[in-house]
Amino acid sequence: MVAGSFAFGAFFIGLPSNSASALAAWALGDDGVLVFRTSKGANLKAFYQAADDIYGARLWVDFPGELIRPRRLKGTGPVNEIRLGKPTPGFTRFVVEFNPSVVLDPTKLRLLGVSPDRWALRLNGLSTRGLRTIGEGNLLPHGSKTLKKYNSLGATSVPLNLSTLPVVPRGRYRVVIDPGHGGPDPGAVGVGGIRESDVVLDISLQVAKLLKAKGVKVNLTRTTEVDLDLPPRVALANRLGASAFVSIHANASRVRNLDVNGIETFFFAGSSGNRLAANIQKQVLNVSPGSPDRGVRKGRFFVIRRTTMPAVLVETGFLTGRLDGKRLAKAPHRRKLALAIAKGILNYLRGLS
């Protein structure tokens, strides 16, 4: 991390740093999407730095393994120059330097692992006027003809019919929803490279919308793919005096056992989170047929231990599981999970009045 810069990369298991560059091919498309092909499972880190007196805004990605031939390529449109260098022995740095007028919002930049050897970064907010596709190397191994769409999960829309959700007095309650992980911390990575941080953000945004539609005041600890330490998440909830705090996660089995599936919801012993946990657990199980009930359990996670209101952490399934993982990758299931969690929260709130 360079002072003043903003890291937004994803971390994966790394290669030994003395190997050849993990960067095999790259392209910056005229649609403003940067694509990399790397060796499998490479550990990438991405950074953004705003323009200063000397340089335009820069975005760079560090790859393990040393580049043989440092080089510069002239940019087009909003891009001034692309540089490939080796800032430190054993690494490759890929830099996009923009024209001085370009300003990007680093919280909207996401480097996504779309497969074990493929990455995509959409330059959100960049005007693509005059931008021409530029690249080096073959992005399409094995003779394949088309690039797979490098969308992450895609946003899922919230169902219009909210009548199945319990009614609580409008404006009386405030709930903090905490999408687990984010930014450089992808959380669990499941079958096919699906990332916990993406899955839980999608679910959480929908839960928030549903609760708001039912008259509950909602705060999200993060709304984009950014990293956030645990203390600010807790501080936010405590400061707001929320009625409930719900941290949403997805699980991974340590040995990536496909047969481990199930739903569990944690509360901190001695807190009043038990009933909130039971309500959520019940509803999530309802929309996860076949997935084992791992129960309402006592946990010591920071976010539920240090919050001053009833607080729970729900594990919506195992990304590494054959059953759960396949489901969590699908938008309709994530919508069901969002409805279930919202229903559990509303049932709990109804019990308070």
Residue numbers at the binding site for Zn ion (CB under 5 A): 180, 187, 249
Give me the residue label for tokens 């509950």: 216
On whether the CB atoms of residues 342 and 336 are closer than 8 A, the answer is no
- Whichever of 117 and 178 has its CB closer to Zn ion, that residue is 178
d(CA 241, CA 226): 24
The least distance separating Zn ion from the CB of residue 312, rounded to whole angstroms, comes to 13
Give me the residue label for tokens 């919508």: 335
User: The tokens of 193 are what?
Assistant: 């490279």
The least distance separating Zn ion from the CB of residue 293, rounded to whole angstroms, comes to 19
- Whichever of 128 and 223 has its CB closer to Zn ion, that residue is 223
The least distance separating Zn ion from the CB of residue 267, rounded to whole angstroms, comes to 16
- Whichever of 50 and 230 has its CB closer to Zn ion, that residue is 230
CA 119 to centroid of chain Cα atoms: 14
- Whichever of 180 and 344 has its CB closer to Zn ion, that residue is 180
- Cβ neighbours of residue 66 closer than 8 Å, sequence gap 6 or more: 18, 20, 21, 86, 89, 90, 91, 92
CA 86 to centroid of chain Cα atoms: 29
- Whichever of 113 and 180 has its CB closer to Zn ion, that residue is 180
Compute the CA torsion angle 277, 264, 298, 236 (nearest 10 deg): -60
* CA distances (Å), origin 190, targets 187, 320, 329: 10, 5, 9
The least distance separating Zn ion from the CB of residue 223, rounded to whole angstroms, comes to 18
- Whichever of 64 and 180 has its CB closer to Zn ion, that residue is 180
Ramachandran angles phi, psi of 297, nearest 5°: -130, 155
d(CA 223, CA 298): 28
Residue whose Cβ sits closest to Zn ion: 249
The least distance separating Zn ion from the CB of residue 181, rounded to whole angstroms, comes to 6
The least distance separating Zn ion from the CB of residue 296, rounded to whole angstroms, comes to 17
